[in-house]
Amino acid sequence: MALKTGASVLRLNTLRNAAVRLLSTHTRPEVAQNTKYAEFPGAKAPYVTEMKFLNESSYDPIPIYRVLDNSGSVLESREEPSIDKDELVNMYKTMVQLTQMDKILYESQRQGRISFYMTNYGEEGIHVGSAAALSPRDLVFAQYREVGVFLYRGVTVTELINQCYGNHEDPGKGRQMPVHYGNKHFNLVTLSSPLATQMPQAVGAAYALKRQPNNDRCVICYFGDGAASEGDAFAAFNFAATLDCPVILLCRNNGYAISTPTNEQYRGDGIASRGPALGIRTVRVDGTDALAVYNAVKQSREYAIANNKPVLIEAMSYRVGHHSTSDDSTAYRSIEEIQKWTTDESPLHKFKMYLEAKGIWDAEAEKTCLKESRDTVVRTMQEAEKKKRPHWKEMLEDVYYDMPPRIQKQMKQMEEHLKKYPDKYPLDQHQD
């Protein structure tokens, strides 16, 4: 990615100053001049003689930073990041590839070809905007709706689909549910199903990085608004702040935790308001605007590494698809509500309009990109179906360097069981 250093620094300073101006407008309880400040170990705060309780209306809402409007036009030219044209096209192609993969694999699950799937509709801008702003060496702790980050890093569609099908070329050897990806080469930590477990792990990894001499890496941790309600989230926020860890905590606030809307999940000003309360530098961005996400993550990365400090980013978006193939979201929201976010508020729509305005994308390029992306997924899926599953012994291997007696016993019992009932198991579908 070719960036003009001088222009980049100028724009980042402008972004920083704009954020300071916005935050300075927030209402604070009035304190008289020359007020004496308390020196309690737990808080340095002014004394007052009038008791006032604070609530969610005591402060103005944290503003949402954006670069593009709904038509893909740049609102302030100074905020437009200096990204190479080829890289901009690559960002959009990644979003298109992700969308095509979602469409086909979702239908694949409905046809019984794979057991489970989760789509990413509406959040493509968060994936690609953040991934483009990171270094390939930065460590990524994702949740389960960030596969666009994997694609942008270089993980192939083939590897992702092999994982969903659990064949013998799946790096996880068929042990994980579909969409639980991981790739050590690209610094992508394997996903876990339980919500928020990756958050304190990410903070711990960031703490380890800062202890290395001349560290030039950071950690980014993705999580949703639902995960933010878990106890691990608070632990991660507090550890990140008190241990001064170079970690970016990026919340995808997409409006729903499965079927629970945000207005039933919290009463405060979203997830971003928790950052300043815990001493974390914080910004809220339009998650449907890939350029806004890019700017926020790029500056957050520079700050985190230079200062060994955490940053919290709340990326506002909308989960267009069902939570997963196990969910029917029409039971708790209307079709009309969803449709709004598939047109003007779509991350792909905004970014495509932006590229067209710059003269680097057109209808013919769109047609070609859609066809190539779809063909890649269909071809890869057909190949994945033909590949055999891992040998059954794989389920008992790779846990211990030297297999302990109890696992050896289980292995022997399984061998005897299969010899006794060979017709009950499709061993011909597994590797010899």
What are 357's two structure tokens? Answer: 């305005």
Q: Measured between alpha carbons, how far is 263 from 274 in angstroms, rounded to an integer?
A: 16
What are 286's two structure tokens? Answer: 């339009």
Active-site annotation holds for 107: yes
Q: Which of 127, 323, 329, 345 is catalytic?
A: 323
For 66, left (φ over 0), alpha (ψ -120 to 50), or beta?
beta
Helix axis angle, 347-357 to 290-307, nearest 10°: 100
Q: Which of 107, 264, 385, 415 is catalytic?
A: 107
Active-site annotation holds for 180: no
Helix (H) or strand (E) holding 13: helix 5-24
CB 184 within 8 A of CB 175: no
Assign 3-class secondary structure to 176-240.
CCCCCCCECCCCEECCCCCCCCHHHHHHHHHHHHHCCCCCCCCEEEEEECCHHHCHHHHHHHHHH
Q: Which of 324, 329, 346, 373 is catalytic?
A: 324
Active-site annotation holds for 323: yes
Q: Which of 71, 135, 193, 326 is catalytic?
A: 193
Active-site annotation holds for 383: no
Instruction: Tell me the C-alpha to C-alpha distance, in Å, between residue 168 and each of 101, 118, 247.
Output: 21, 22, 35
Supply the residues annotated as catalytic: 107, 193, 323-324
